[in-house]
C-alpha cells in the first residue's frame, strides 16, 4: 500500500510541480500554471475530502495526483491519474489510484440519481503510454481537441462590424444572463456538453482566477442576443497569449460571419495589448465547421488532446 492522503488548498504548489514534471516528460514543457491548479482545487462541487488523492514517497515528495470531478447533475465524471515519471516505489500505484478514481466516479453518479457513469479522461496525443493505459481500462476514443494559435507581430486592424451588431461586456447581470443563454443553446449539441442553470454557471465563472467580465462580450443583432465570446488570460503568464475560452453563435444567426467577426475582434484586442498571440481549443468533431473557421482565420494547430470515454 502507498501513502495516500487527501489534497488541501495548500498543496497547490506541490501539485503544480508534479504536473509540470509529467507535462515536460510527455510534451517537453509544462502545460499548467499554479493558478490553473489552484482553480482545479477550488472548482465548485469538487470535494477535497472525497474527490482527490495525493501520494508521497519516503522523503515526503509528491509522487501522484488523482481526482474525479462530476459535471453538474449529469452522469459524466471527468477523471485523472498522474504519477511522477521515473519515481521509485510507485509499482502498482497507477492501478491503486485508478481503482479509487473509478469507485468515486460511480459514487458521484449514483449520488445524482444515475444507474451508470460516463468517464472522460484527457490524454495528450503524444502520450502513448497513457493512451495504452486508457485502452486497457476499457476507455474508447471520444473526441479530439486541437489547441490552435495565431501569432501577432504588431497592431491589427479591427474588423468591420456586421450591420445591426452591437457589443456588450459582462459587467451587468442582464448581459451575463443573455450570454449564458447563448452559451447553453450554442453548445447544446457539442460533445460532452452538460447544461447548467445560470446560478451554477455563474458560480463556476466567479470561482476562476481568470474570469474578467470586461472581456465577456455579447453580440446583439438588432437588439437580439446572437453570439458570445469569452476571453481571459489563462495563457498569458506562460505563453504571453490571450485565450478565447468560449465562442458561440445561436443557430438562427449562423452563416452571417458573426463567429469570424468575434474571432478577429479578439485577435485585434490581444494584439493591441501587446500579446504574442491568441490561443483557443476546438473540438475536431464539432457540430459546426469551427476547425475550418479557425484555420481560415490564420490559426494553426499546436497540440492535440484526445478525450477518451468509458461507460460503466
pLDDT digits (tens, 9 = 90+) for 173-224: 999 999 999 999 999 989 999 999 999 999 999 999 999 999 999 999 999 9
Per-residue confidence (pLDDT) for residue 287, from 0 to 100? 61
C-alpha to C-alpha distance for 208 and 285, rounded to whole angstroms: 27
Contact 198, 177 (CB under 8 A): yes
C-alpha to C-alpha distance for 161 and 164, rounded to whole angstroms: 8
CATH number assigned to the domain with residue range 3-138, chosen from the 4 options 3.30.70.270, 3.30.565.10, 3.90.1200.10, 3.40.630.30: 3.40.630.30
Q: Where in the chain is the domain with CATH 3.40.630.30?
A: 3-138, 148-304
Statement: the pTM of the whole predicted model exceeds 0.85: yes
pLDDT digits (tens, 9 = 90+) for 272-303: 999 999 999 999 887 666 788 899 999 999 99
Query: What's the chain's average pLDDT?
Result: 96
Per-residue confidence (pLDDT) for residue 1, from 0 to 100? 62
249: Cα within 13 Å, side-chain hemisphere = 19
Determine the average pLDDT of the residues in 159-182. Answer: 97
Contact 4, 103 (CB under 8 A): no
Annotation: CATH topology of 148-304: Aminopeptidase (3.40.630)
The residues with which 146 forms a beta bridge, in sequence order, are: 282, 304
Per-residue confidence (pLDDT) for residue 113, from 0 to 100? 98
pLDDT digits (tens, 9 = 90+) for 219-268: 999 999 999 999 999 999 999 999 999 999 999 999 999 999 999 999 99
pLDDT digits (tens, 9 = 90+) for 217-229: 999 999 999 999 9
C-alpha to C-alpha distance for 281 and 158, rounded to whole angstroms: 22
Residue 32 parent element (H or E): none
**pLDDT tier for residue 118 given thresholds of 50, 70 and 90:** very high
C-alpha to C-alpha distance for 218 and 177, rounded to whole angstroms: 10
Per-residue confidence (pLDDT) for residue 293, from 0 to 100? 87
Using CA atoms, how far residue 55 sits from 24, 35, 97, 99, 200, in Å, is 20, 21, 9, 14, 32
Grid cell at residue 5: 492522503
Amino acid at each position: 500500500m502507498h501513502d495516500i492522503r487527501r489534497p488541501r488548498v495548500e498543496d497547490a504548489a506541490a501539485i503544480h510541480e508534479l504536473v509540470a514534471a509529467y507535462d515536460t516528460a510527455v510534451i517537453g514543457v509544462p502545460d499548467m500554471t499554479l493558478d490553473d491548479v489552484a482553480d482545479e482545487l477550488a472548482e465548485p462541487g469538487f470535494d477535497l475530502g472525497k474527490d482527490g488523492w495525493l501520494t508521497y514517497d519516503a522523503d515526503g515528495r509528491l509522487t501522484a495526483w488523482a481526482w474525479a470531478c462530476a459535471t453538474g447533475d449529469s452522469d459524466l465524471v471527468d477523471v485523472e491519474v498522474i504519477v511522477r515519471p521515473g519515481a521509485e516505489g510507485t509499482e502498482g500505484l497507477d492501478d491503486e489510484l485508478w481503482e479509487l478514481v473509478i469507485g468515486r466516479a460511480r459514487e458521484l453518479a449514483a449520488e445524482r440519481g444515475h444507474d451508470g457513469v460516463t468517464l472522460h479522461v484527457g490524454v495528450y496525443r503524444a502520450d502513448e503510454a497513457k493512451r495504452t493505459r486508457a485502452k486497457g481500462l476499457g476507455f474508447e476514443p471520444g473526441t479530439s481537441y486541437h489547441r490552435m494559435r495565431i501569432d501577432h507581430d504588431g497592431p491589427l486592424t479591427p474588423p468591420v462590424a456586421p450591420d445591426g451588431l452591437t457589443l456588450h461586456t459582462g459587467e451587468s447581470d442582464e448581459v451575463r444572463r443573455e450570454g449564458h443563454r447563448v452559451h447553453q443553446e450554442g453548445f447544446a449539441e457539442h460533445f460532452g456538453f452538460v447544461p447548467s442553470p445560470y446560478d451554477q454557471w455563474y458560480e463556476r465563472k466567479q470561482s476562476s482566477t481568470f474570469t474578467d467580465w470586461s472581456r465577456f462580450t455579447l453580440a446583439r443583432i438588432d437588439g437580439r442576443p446572437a453570439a458570445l465570446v469569452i476571453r481571459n488570460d489563462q495563457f498569458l503568464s506562460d505563453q504571453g497569449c490571450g485565450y478565447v475560452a468560449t465562442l458561440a453563435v445561436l443557430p438562427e444567426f449562423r452563416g452571417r460571419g458573426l463567429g469570424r467577426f468575434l474571432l478577429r475582434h479578439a485577435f485585434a484586442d490581444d494584439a493591441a495589448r501587446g500579446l504574442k498571440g491568441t490561443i483557443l481549443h476546438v473540438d475536431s468533431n464539432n457540430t459546426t465547421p469551427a476547425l475550418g473557421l479557425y484555420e481560415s482565420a490564420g490559426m494553426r494547430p499546436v497540440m492535440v488532446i484526445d478525450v477518451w470515454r468509458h461507460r460503466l
